[in-house]
Structures are given as C-alpha cells and as structure tokens.
Amino acid sequence: MCEFLRRLSKIIHLSRSGNLIVKLDTNALPRIGEKVFDSRLREIGIIHDLFGPVARPYISLTPTTSDPFSLVGKIVYSQ
C-alpha cells in the first residue's frame, strides 16, 4: 500500500446500482481505478466514475466489501 493517503470525504449514500457515492472535499481529484480505504486502512472500493460540478465533484465507488450499506457516513481515503 502507498505510504500516503489523502482524505476524500464521507460516503453520502448507496446508489440504486450498488455504488457508493462520495461528495469530494478536496481540490485534488482522484483517478478512476484508484483504490479507496476506510479509517482502518481496509480497502472498501475502487473509483468507478467522477461526475457533477467541477468545483465540488462527486465520485462513484464500486464496493469491494460484502456490506457496502454499512459504510454510508464513513470517511474514506485514496492513494
């Protein structure tokens, strides 16, 4: 794993398609395909898409956990 993780924001909800949605707090945009981690440094998903306004975009994560709904409201980090 990378030595340095950056905070993305909180997961705001689980979409109908099963992806986790995060509204970014940072100006540094992550890349599609980057791994995303929780506060315990467990991989929880992979960035699937960036969308929304340029000033405060959203990201869609494809979850890699068996219970993605339990992650709603948690802060996430990327490499």
Per-residue confidence in pLDDT tens, the chain, 79 aa: 556 888 999 999 999 999 999 999 877 789 999 999 999 999 999 999 999 998 889 999 999 999 999 999 999 999 8
Domain membership of residue 18 as a residue range: 6-78
In angstroms, rounded to a whole number, what is the distance separating the alpha carbons of residues 34 and 32?
A: 6
In a domain, 20, yes or no: yes
In a domain, 15, yes or no: yes
In a domain, 34, yes or no: yes
Report how many domains make up the chain: 1
In a domain, 1, yes or no: no
pTM for this prediction: 0.88
In angstroms, rounded to a whole number, what is the distance separating the alpha carbons of residues 64 and 51?
A: 21
Query: For position 56, what pLDDT does the model report?
Result: 87
Buried/exposed code over 27-49 (b: 16+ C-beta within 10 A; e: otherwise): eeebeeeebbbbeeeeebbebee
In a domain, 63, yes or no: yes
Query: For position 16, what pLDDT does the model report?
Result: 94
| CA dist 68 → 1, 19, 38, 55, 63 (Å) | 22, 8, 12, 27, 6
Please report, for the domain that includes residue 28, its CATH number.
Answer: 2.40.10.230
